[in-house]
Structure 1
Amino acid sequence: MSDLAIGASSGAKGEGAFTTRTVAILIAVGIATFAAMLVLGAYAPDLRSGRNGGAHALSNAAVGYSGIVRLAAATGRNPQIVRNPRLLDTEDLVVLTPEAGATDMTKVLQARQGKPTLVILPKWQTVPDPTHAGWARFVDMRSAFEADQVLAPAYKLKTRRFSSGGRPLVSLSWMPATVRFRGPKPVQTISGAKLQPIITDDQGHIVLGQIGPHPFFVLADPDLLSNIGMRDADQARAALELLDFLNSAGAKSVYFDVTLNGFGHAPSPLKLAFQPPFLAMTLALAIAVLLAGVQATARFGATRQRARAIAFGKTALIDNTAALVRKAGRHRALGPRYADLVRERAKGVFGVPARLRDQGLDRYLDALGGRARFTELAEQARAATDPRAMLQAAQALHTWLWEKSR
């Protein structure tokens, strides 16, 4: 007998939970989703918007620098956002915007040694605005000591703040006439050894300075280049002219670093799999897996005959009978019947007179002696209610009969 014969017809409608078409669609969607997750995982660092209200080139908050980046792009200065530290090895101007004194700038400064570099010191302490994504709310001014620590201990600077009243800042006489700023309120200044003034306030305090003979510049007040200053057309024009003045001769771009702000990333092996020349190998592997999947859906070889639902043999018959008894809930009646079966078998084995029945037969079997009496074992079998006790009682009756007949 086959299980197909017992069950419903193989051609009946609704035999499976899903049709072949549904399964194919689920598999296709799963493969497409997995591939999309791999691609997004590879390019996730490049997709981060950076609109967290911070002071960096990706931020559109008041303290951010996305305004000067957009202005530079609109005026053909070809600004670049640096996420990979390896791109810092350029002869063009690189703008560094550390947001705290604890920012580790060692490797960046080593890479920029002797090359045009502008470091903008932090000034404002802000928190993200919960009502506007990418905006920031002013909390207070950062400690001047924190700004002092940005370049320490390599360069010891002293940060101070003065009331400017919005008066014009003073630039070097040989600088372009368009590089003219109004003083922020308040204006943040710096002082230190080997610091040469480039832009100062009307009292001579340095706002933008150069350290040493190399083109290494430090802007004390970020409001000259941040989105705060870009609100005014004259300030924005002066900011663009300042970048041109600080850049190297023949420069093709201005680089704004965001690795110091936590938006950098190193080359990823997963990303390489989606870029030439490794893209060809990735596509070849994907096609090979697809072909293997298509081949797996086709039958090959002879059809294997399905096994019988009910096997041949005494053991299978006993197992099936026991299963039927359990399903019917009649196992509780097996104890008394097994005791009666052993009594009838013992009657033939021991030659018990045919005239003895019931109690007389039980007394005769008890008189045979041994370690246990038949009536006691039979009573245990009749009293058994759970399968374990019933099995123990049946085994005891079987042992009693075997000991008497050997």
Structure 2
Amino acid sequence: MSDVGDSRTSTADRVFSPLTVALLLIIGLIGFAGSLLLGAYAPELKSGRNAGSHALSNAATGYAGIVELAGATGRHPRVLRADDGWKTEDLVVATPEHGTTDMSQFMAARHGKATLIVLPKWATIADDETGGWVDVSGLLPSFDPAGVLAPSTVMTVTRRPSGARVLHVGDGAPQSLAVSAPRPLQTVTSAALTPLITDDAGRIVLGQIGRSNTYILADPDLLDNHGIRRLDHARAALDLLDFVNSNNSHAIAFDVTLNGLGRGRSALKLAFEPPFLAMTLAIVAALALVGWQALVRFGAPQPRIRAIAFGKTALIDNSAMIVRKAGREGMLGGRYAALIRGHARTIFGVPARLTDDEADRYLDNLGGTTRFSTLVADATRAEHRTDMLAAAQALYRWQQEKTQ
């Protein structure tokens, strides 16, 4: 009665079925793994559609258009989202959005390498109706773009109506850069810059810092999405990138770390990337096996089976195993022959007074194609396992033939 009562109580107290518990565990594990992945790769999942002025932005002041155009024309563009990419020999285009952006580490890493710095120009706010778009609220204060390279490079920024007059191209620059000026036109004046493209008043639109490989583009509308909407401006933008690419590299890198879209090193991320990914998968597999063992196990643990079982059969098997391990199997032929002789004495009525040799000759007289004494001799001479086994089988067949 007590057993029945306990069974009913355990059934009534069961709130969830095993299947429900398994589903809850699986869903929880998947959610936990997903949260780890999102935590590791969250910085890389930023699309950059924040209406900023950078290479990932589709807004009018962004540069996603020139990146896509460079890719379509075989210039192999890529977006830098880590500062360790600043040391590349490829042309790097930097688009700081304000003069307060710290450029010191970037300039130190780019020393002697082809670099184009595009100054900011427009003050914008995000469009509430269309994601990724902006509304232009006006121009930034002139001191904002002028402070991008301050205090190492002092610049004065001016804006004036351009009337869409054609820009003037200096010696060495391609004539395709002589396009109509943006409206309004942003220019710079600096003793540290060598003018390459100017307006009709001689103010610098594209300048080179001394004789270095660093170039300053004063007006971003020559490269941004709004500026390259015209075919001639799009061609000029590509020619501009090729012109400042003094290293003649086969790729162009657009930096977005200065725009706050870089990604840092993460210890959690290392667990999901080679070479540590193999260790992570091994740990997951081990945990899965442990969970499976816990899921399928039921009842009380079974006691361990004895290494040496009880009974005559176990004793014979163990003895045979000892003989086999000792390599003495080939020496058992004579004993097996004696065993068969003893059975034959009883079956065929061999007189007890006869010796073993006399009994063998007595058994030879029973007839047949095989002599018993010959079989006994073969079994006695056997030294290897195969020879002993063949002799024993021959004795057994002799016994079977004579008793049929």
Relative to the length of structure 1, the TM-score reads 0.71
Match of 2:350 in 1: none
Which amino acid in 2 is paired with 1:128? A
| 1:301-316 matched pairs, under 5 angstroms | 301=300
Distance 2:293 2:187 in 1: 73
Amino acid at match of 1:161: R
Q: What is the distance in 2 between the residues matched to 1:247 and 1:125?
A: 29
Correspondence 1:192 to 2:183: no
Q: Unaligned regions of 5+ residues in structure 2, if any?
A: 303-404
Residues 203-224 of structure 1 deviation map (CA, whole Å, 9 limit, x = unaligned): 2111110011111101111000
Alignment of 1:37-116 (within 5 A): 37-116=35-114
SS at match of 1:181: coil
User: Is 1:150 matched with 2:145?
Assistant: no
**One of 170, 173, 178 as aligned partner of 1:172:** 170
> Which range is displaced more, 292-301 or 119-128?
292-301
Separation in 1, partners of 2:224, 2:4: 78
1:11 positional shift? 5.3
Q: What amino acid sits opposite 1:183 in the alignment?
A: A
Q: Which deviates more from structure 2 when the two are superposed, residues 173-182 or residues 118-127?
A: 173-182
Q: Does 1:219 align with 2:217?
A: yes
Are the equivalent residues in 2 in contact too, given 1:169–1:181 (CA < 8 A)? yes
Q: Counterpart of 2:134?
A: 136
Tell me the secondary structure at the aligned position of residue 178 of structure 1: helix
Residue 147 of structure 1, CA deviation: 1.1
- Could you tell me how far 1:29 is from its partner in structure 2? 1.4
- Determine helix, strand or coil for the equivalent of 2:21: helix
State the SS of the aligned residue for 2:262.
Answer: coil
Partners of 1:132 and 1:144 lie apart in 2 by 29
Return closer, same or farther for 1:299/1:270 CA change in 2, 3 Å cut-off. Answer: same
- 2 CA distance for matches of 1:40 and 1:218? 38
Indicate conservation of the 8 Å contact 2:167/2:197, yes or no.
yes
What is the CA–CA distance in structure 2 between the aligned matches of 1:249 and 1:111, rounded to whole Å? 16
Q: Distance in 1 between matches of 2:122 and 2:10?
A: 75
For 2:288, the aligned partner's letter is L
**Gap regions ≥5 residues in structure 1:** 304-406
Aligned residue pair count: 301
C-alpha displacement at 1:42, in angstroms?
1.3
Q: Distance in 1 between matches of 2:289 and 2:93?
A: 51
Report the Cα offset of residue 16 of structure 1: 2.9
1:176-325 to structure 2, matched below 5 A, reads 176-297=174-295, 298-299=297-298, 301=300
Q: Deviations over 1:70-127 (max 9, x none)?
A: 1001111111100010011011111111111111111111100111111111110001
C-alpha distance in structure 1 between counterparts of 2:3 and 2:99, whole Å: 77
> SS state of the match for residue 294, structure 1?
helix
Question: Which residue identity lines up with residue 224 of structure 1 in the other structure?
Answer: L
1:34-54 Cα deviation digits (max 9, x unpaired): 112211221111110011111
Alignment correspondent of 2:5 = 5
Q: Distance in 2 between matches of 1:4 and 1:33?
A: 41
Contact residue 92 and residue 248 of structure 1 kept, 8 A:
no
How far apart, in 2, do the equivalents of 1:118 and 1:296 lie?
Answer: 61
Following the alignment from structure 1 to structure 2, what is the Cα–Cα distance between the partners of residues 62 and 146? 20
Counterpart amino acid of 1:266? Answer: G
Distance 1:184 1:275, change over 3 A: same
Contact 2:153 2:192 in 1 (8 A): no
Maintained 8 Å contact 2:89/2:247: no
Contact preservation (8 Å) 1:273, 1:282: yes
CA contact (8 A) 2:81 2:262 kept: yes
Seq. identity, %:
51
Q: Distance in 2 between matches of 1:201 and 1:290?
A: 69
- TM-score w.r.t. the length of structure 2 is 0.71
State the alpha-carbon separation in 1 of the partners of residues 294 and 301 from structure 2: 15
Measured in 1, the distance between the counterparts of 2:6 and 2:30 equals 41
C-alpha distance in structure 1 between counterparts of 2:287 and 2:301, whole Å: 25
The AA in structure 1 aligned to 2:181 is G
**1:199-248 CA distances to partner (integer Å, 9 max, x unpaired)?**
11122111110011111101111000011112111101100111011113
